[in-house]
A and B are shown apart, each in its own frame.
Chain A
């Protein structure tokens, strides 16, 4: 009962902050809403007993990546008075069909109760269990992701060096 109420509160915060993210004009406000959203998702993980995942979510996404995002927005995104008319005004027309497609997909998923790949039976949220799964059953996707991140890092360095 209490767990359900807590879930509803956290879920409401998550949805509300997600809406805040896309509806706020102010980029900094949007980014801070995203931080709140990531935090509430971490709270959902915590409720499911995935303590390690929750901590990693907060440290990596809210604590590091979003700090960089906010930093970049502070440095690079000009204030309201400096922006002229939006040069990508045309692209906004695409928002409706693409949004509709995404919404349709979501509706289909929810309606069919598609559950995704079966969760491992003895799922447990400890660092031990997560580490074991990552380095046994899910080793290939795990390594693939790290190669992807490495490629992105090398790419960034090449781009940064070219300018210098």
Chain B
């Protein structure tokens, strides 16, 4: 019986994660169109309707998906068959599994069981997400090379160069957070952000590591190839690595973009915005620094925490979309220069400063 229950719980943890990521990814297609429309004073997608019901254009993702599934799946004659077919799957796979070790709630205690609210408990969870994000570029490179198209190849090469420069900045910028919490487990890092500085300020990463936050988000946008770092795609110049793809395989590349945006938002939430933490909310309820306290049932606390996580991820995605529709695309060499001469040295400086401050803080 308990084996069945354990299996069920593991399944539930993974299922929640997949449900969350896949549905938000589908929704993001709508958000992207609608938010850009509002920002540019347009109405945006609103024609798709079911029995006259338009629901603010919410049926558009559904219509898009059906259209892509029904389209011809074309493969260029000179393409490398296996790699061409494999590339979108590799791309979307690594984006999807990356979310696995991001915690969406504190440990839930039900009937004597302790269920950590994350799909997979890893004590190197942060490195795991980072590793999966960095492997995702193979899908893009394979697509670019296998298409037997020079524009696609250019896109693949740009993606590789961009990934390397962004990845090093990401790795160096998260070191400061790791140094503060002394752990590579995302659960520990989120828990550590529940502490209060001077008795009332929550020790969220954005306050303890402001520079790292900016560097991480910048490098993260570059790693997910979104505007202003979308040179691998650059539809106005080379169209990019997916120029030869059609139908749902093209849709999978689009989906990868969305899923990677969610992963980036989830990771920034966990590292810098306190993950599932709500200030002054503890396992037994609210306990405010001015002495007031509100007792809450453990289940309600868990629901609040999970909603806080979802809300924060949504907020970060909103900001990422704002950036995406505000900035123009960098030129390729500008992005390289920003990565190697801007983000990377600043991240190293951040590590040194964090180390010195930590030493000073501990020897108070």
Contact = CB atoms under 8 A, between A and B. Distances in A.
Contact of A67 (B127, B163, B171): B163
A71 B137 CA distance: 11
B141 A70 contact: yes
Interface in B134-153: 134-135, 137-138, 141-142, 144-145, 153
A99 B278 CA distance: 62
Size class of the contact patch on chain B:
20 to 34
B160 A63 contact: no
A19 B156 CA distance: 26
B167 interface: yes
A27 B138 CA distance: 15
Contact of B123 (A56, A67, A70, A126): A126
Given A32-B142, A70-B141, A74-B157, A56 B127 contact: yes
B308 interface: no
B157 A71 contact: yes
A135 B58 CA distance: 56
Interface string A52-91: 1011101100111001101100110000000000000000
Given A51-B122, A126-B123, A127-B124, A28 B145 contact: yes
A41 interface: no
Nearest to B122: A51
Given A55-B131, A58-B131, A35 B157 contact: no
A54 B131 CA distance: 10
Contacts of B161: 71
B337 to A, nearest CB: 17
A130 to B, nearest CB: 10
A111 to B, nearest CB: 36
B286 interface: no
B164 A52 contact: no
Contacts of B137: 67
B130 interface: yes
Nearest to A58: B131
A67 B131 contact: no
A71 B141 contact: yes
B156 A59 contact: no
Residue of A56, A63, A64 with most chain B CB atoms under a 10 A cut-off: A63
A68 B280 CA distance: 46
Interface string A19-31: 0000000001100
Contact of B171 (A59, A62, A75): A59
How big is the A interface, by class? 20 to 34
A62 B135 contact: yes
Nearest to A59: B131
Contacts of A32: 83, 138, 142
Given A51-B123, A64-B164, A59 B130 contact: yes
Contacts of B128: 55
A59 B131 CA distance: 5
Interface in A101-152: 126-127
B154 to A, nearest CB: 10
A51 B124 CA distance: 7
A59 B163 CA distance: 12
Contacts of A56: 127
A70 B241 CA distance: 15
Contacts of A74: 141, 144-145, 153, 156-157, 160
B130 A71 contact: no
B115 to A, nearest CB: 21
Contacts of A51: 122-124
Nearest to A66: B138
A75 B131 contact: no
Given A28-B80, A51-B123, A127-B124, 16 more contacts: A29-B83, A35-B138, A55-B127, A55-B128, A58-B134, A63-B134, A64-B164, A64-B167, A67-B137, A68-B160, A70-B138, A70-B145, A71-B141, A71-B157, A71-B161, A126-B124
27 contacts: A28-B80, A28-B83, A32-B83, A35-B138, A51-B122, A52-B127, A52-B184, A55-B124, A55-B128, A58-B134, A62-B134, A63-B131, A63-B135, A64-B164, A64-B167, A67-B134, A67-B137, A67-B141, A67-B160, A68-B160, A68-B164, A70-B141, A70-B145, A70-B160, A74-B156, A126-B123, A126-B124
